[in-house]
Amino acid sequence: MSRTQDKEAILKFSFTRSQGEFRLDVAGNFGSGITALFGPSGSGKTTLLNCLAGLFRPDSGEIVLHARDLYRDTPKSFVQPEKRRIGLVFQDGALFPHMSVADNVMYGWKRTPEGERRIDVDHVVELLGLRPLMERSPSSLSGGERQRVAFARALAMSPGLLLLDEPMASLDARLRGVVISYLRRIHEDLGIPMIYVSHSISEVLALADDALVLSDGKVVASGRPSRVLLDPAVGGMFQDDPIENLLDGTVMEAGGDGAPGRVRVGSSEVVTPPTGQSVGAPVIVALGAEEIILATEEPTGLSARNVVSGSITELEPVADGIYATVDVGVPIMVALTQGAVVALGLKRGQDAYLVFKSSSIKLLEAALVG
């Protein structure tokens, strides 16, 4: 059973909203995890977030968060945005330019009734590493710093739900790992459910517990991300987006001066390019699913530096092949042809070995989470 169908759902909605010729007709039922909202441009993702946040009013239906009606057409009820206690983070952070970082962070906290303040602002500041930035102005911050301040401002209001509208879209590639680390940390440490909008299947697979796929204003699929987003019926939406495994790692050897690095991922150590990080530092290991060879017996005599053992947990068909998920202490996705799956006789529960070059790995900076 998908976690979206958990009977203890925190967020439930079923509503319609018309804008000119476009009509959004959606339903969802979500628990306490991170839910990805996925779909092509114009599918209705941002409209859905705006309806949940109260910025748009649906035409009919209902929205219920933590057993509280936020919108209902019969009997009529509508909770204003400022009273919904929903945090919203946009692509660019949308900070108040005339306020310091500290004032931005405290904005939501001051507007939250004292009896409803469940989150300690000092804890959020430490969680997101903002202490050195508190007296600075938004104009002096980097893109990654602005997004962290935006997260903190949203969290300071003790939200019952956090809505993230492509929070990495305006960031350069090297900051993806940092934001992914912070989002994981926010959810694990504070337990706030999130809805995360993204065009990147790699980000969705790295972060989300569940996925809701929209197309032309309608829900076309929902459930576990690895199954939903690899469904051939959905695959055309991201066929040009190569799947990249984004894996938490810890530096074991930094490398340099011609020597490779070594990073622990799951229960294995992998050989990487020099890390540029100190031993013990967190990193995100980015490894394309197309860059991995799968073997059913341990290979020898290879130029590739990495041979990692695991067990096949999933074999998901896509339009042009099959994606295998192999558990090596963490799940790693491998792109395979249908012919290779048949020839090797692959099946769930089977032992497998993953082979890949160290040069296939990209290392992304990650947030310190200790």
Q: Is 301 or 368 the better-scoring residue by pLDDT?
A: 301
What are the residue ranges of CATH 2.40.50.100 in the chain? Answer: 245-365
Give the model's confidence band at 129: pLDDT under 50 very low, under 70 low, under 90 confident, else very high.
confident
pLDDT at 356: 97
Give the residue among 258, 249, 320 at the shortest CA–CA distance from 290.
Answer: 320
Q: How far is CA 70 from CA 154, 352, 360, in A?
A: 19, 49, 48
Distance separating alpha carbons of residues 73 and 144, to the nearest angstrom: 40
For residues 231 and 39, the answer to whether their CB atoms sit within 8 Å is no
- CATH code, residues 245-365: 2.40.50.100
Res. 126: pLDDT tops 90? no
What are the residue ranges of CATH 3.40.50.300 in the chain? Answer: 3-239
For residues 182 and 367, the answer to whether their CB atoms sit within 8 Å is yes
Give the model's confidence band at 6: pLDDT under 50 very low, under 70 low, under 90 confident, else very high.
very low
Res. 229: pLDDT tops 80? no
Give the model's confidence band at 5: pLDDT under 50 very low, under 70 low, under 90 confident, else very high.
very low
- For the chain, the average pLDDT equals 88
Residues 6+ apart with CB under 8 A from 148: 128, 129, 130, 182
Give the model's confidence band at 8: pLDDT under 50 very low, under 70 low, under 90 confident, else very high.
low
- CATH code, residues 3-239: 3.40.50.300
Give the model's confidence band at 202: pLDDT under 50 very low, under 70 low, under 90 confident, else very high.
confident
pLDDT at 370: 45
CA-CA-CA-CA torsion sign (259, 264, 267, 271): negative
Q: What percent of the chain has pLDDT over 90?
A: 52
pLDDT at 2: 40
Taking the CA of residue 354 as centre, how many other CA atoms within 13 Å lie in the half-sphere pointing to its CB?
A: 31
Res. 127: pLDDT tops 90? no
